[in-house]
Structure 1
Amino acid sequence: MTTAREVMHAGVECLGLDDTLVTAAKRMAELDVGAMPVCGDDDRLRGIITDRDIVVKTIAKDKNPSQVKASELIGETPVWFVEPNTDVDEVLHNMVEHKIRRLPVLDNERLVGIISQADLAAKLPEDKVGELVEAISTTSH
């Protein structure tokens, strides 16, 4: 059995609730990622902000990203997650069912990693990854 821990990207950085979207965008650019988790002062995951969120929910609505905080973009949708020992088939099922491209990995309510389509593509058989990409690409935002 392959587990979430085996396919996840460890060492994930969090944005703070009070970080602005300019800070979020700069960190995404520096890390070459399209999404960042948002954590509270207690290091617990509160949400995820994507580059698309910044564009669609802020810039396209004529809001100033230097004045919008990360906390203002999270909380609208539930944050789906798995635990480190979750079987990768369940990881795939969750990503397809919830139409998400990234899945946080929590251990004792603390963020320990994140699983993206790229992580799965690098570590799983082609047929499993193809099913995920097809399901998400045809219905995801």
Structure 2
Amino acid sequence: MYLTGTYKHNLDAKSRVTLPASIRKQFDDKVCLVPVDGAIYGFTPEGHEAWVRSFFPEGFNPRNKRDVKLSRMLTSMTVTVDLDSAGRLALGKVDPERVAKCGIEREVAVVGNNDHFEIWDASRFDEEQKEMEESLEDLMFD
């Protein structure tokens, strides 16, 4: 899976967002949504499992408090939703407080980011991009 691009959409009256076809075709019928870092990340179930495992490079230790707490937090804030026949995701199933922290209300940007997509409040994403563009060359080149 390799997701790219930025697509602007509006949430419908039921807080659903339609995934762009280029992203939608890389998912089956389930999407794991995780509100993190000012956005809602969307993974395939397998991608989500790999993402959680990536936090434990030496392996998950069920007798290590940090590992147990981090695993619990990552999985408990994740909601697995159905991708409907029109390619829509119900953001209303995500904890409303977490959605509010992301600033998502109406207009959103759906952004491909390699192994997952991100749903941002469109104006917040534009601000992030503007800041990033100013330092892009510094980040790319030593």
If the TM-score is normalised by the length of the shorter chain, which range does it land in? under 0.3
Higher helix proportion, which one? 1
Bigger Rg, which one: 2
Higher strand proportion, which one? 2
Q: TM-score, normalised by structure 2?
A: 0.27
